[in-house]
Amino acid sequence: MFSGLCLAIEQLGDPRIRGVIIKAVMISAALFVGSMFAAGWLLSGLSVFGIGWIDSAVSFLGGGAAFVIGLFLFPAFTGIIISLMLEEIASAVEARHYPGLPPAREEPVIEMMGNAVRFAAVTVLLNLLVFIIVVPLLLVTIVMIPFIPFVFYALNGYLLGQEYFEFAAVRRLDSATGRTLRRHFKFRIFICGIVIAVLMTIPFVNWLMPIVSMAYMVHLFEGMCSRTENEP
């Protein structure tokens, strides 16, 4: 199960994967510079106190704060952009490790939108349940506070495992067959999702995790398909 994770990390040096990283960083940098210019333009016309030097100081401090916040959010921007390039990552993994596979199927737009809406609904519902019911119950008892991270990782492990596995599966299977396969290996996918969730909380590692997660799930999916084909 974890050999796929090692293969995914090892492939970060692949030229096609590096290309995805470089494109994501360049787009993030362009968005960062654009947002800084926008913030500077907005703050330059700001007049809070009506006193020139005070308003200038406020604008300067506001610009500095926007720059620092932008630096902290830069990896998050990069991670989001990488998430939009998952198809390229999956193709690179297949080209290197599974060259005999036929071309991936084209997922219909309606199917793609249905999967996205379903995943969003499950995400919102589970997070609401955690914040409205589970977390308050844990907080009322101080002894239970250490269990909050376990709830966090369990929830996000389920969500991330499902999200990345389904993306890998729908490239090769229709939605119904993909869900059947996911239910058959649900515990394995859940454990892999927890691994992804834990790694995503590590600074500087987290912004590369969409790449690693997608590659990891492609390996996991192909392994499951092989096991299913070999089953009597």
State the SS3 of 138-201: HHHCHHHHHHHHHHHHHHHHHHHHHHHHHHHHHCCCCHHHHHHHHHHCHHHHHHHHHHHHHHCC
Q: Structure tokens of 178? A: 């993909």
CA 208 from centre of chain: 9
- Give, as one character, the DSSP assignment of residue 103: P
Specify the range with the lowest mean pLDDT, choosing from 46-55, 108-117, 173-182.
46-55
3-state secondary structure of 88: helix
Alpha helices (H) along 11-147: 15-44, 52-83, 86-97, 109-129, 135-140
Residues 6+ apart with CB under 8 A from 155: 126, 127, 130
pLDDT band at 203 (very low <50, low <70, confident <90, very high): confident
Q: Which residue has the tokens 């200038």?
A: 56
- Residue range 43-66, pLDDT digits in tens: 555 555 555 555 566 565 555 655
Tokens at residue 83, please?
């998430």
- How deeply is 150 buried, as exposed, middle or buried, from its count of CB atoms within 10 A (0-12, 13-18, 19+)? exposed
pTM of the model: 0.72
- Which is higher by pLDDT, 38 or 225? 225
Query: What are phi and psi for residue 33, nearest 5 degrees?
Result: -65, -40
Residue 109 has pLDDT above 80, yes or no: no
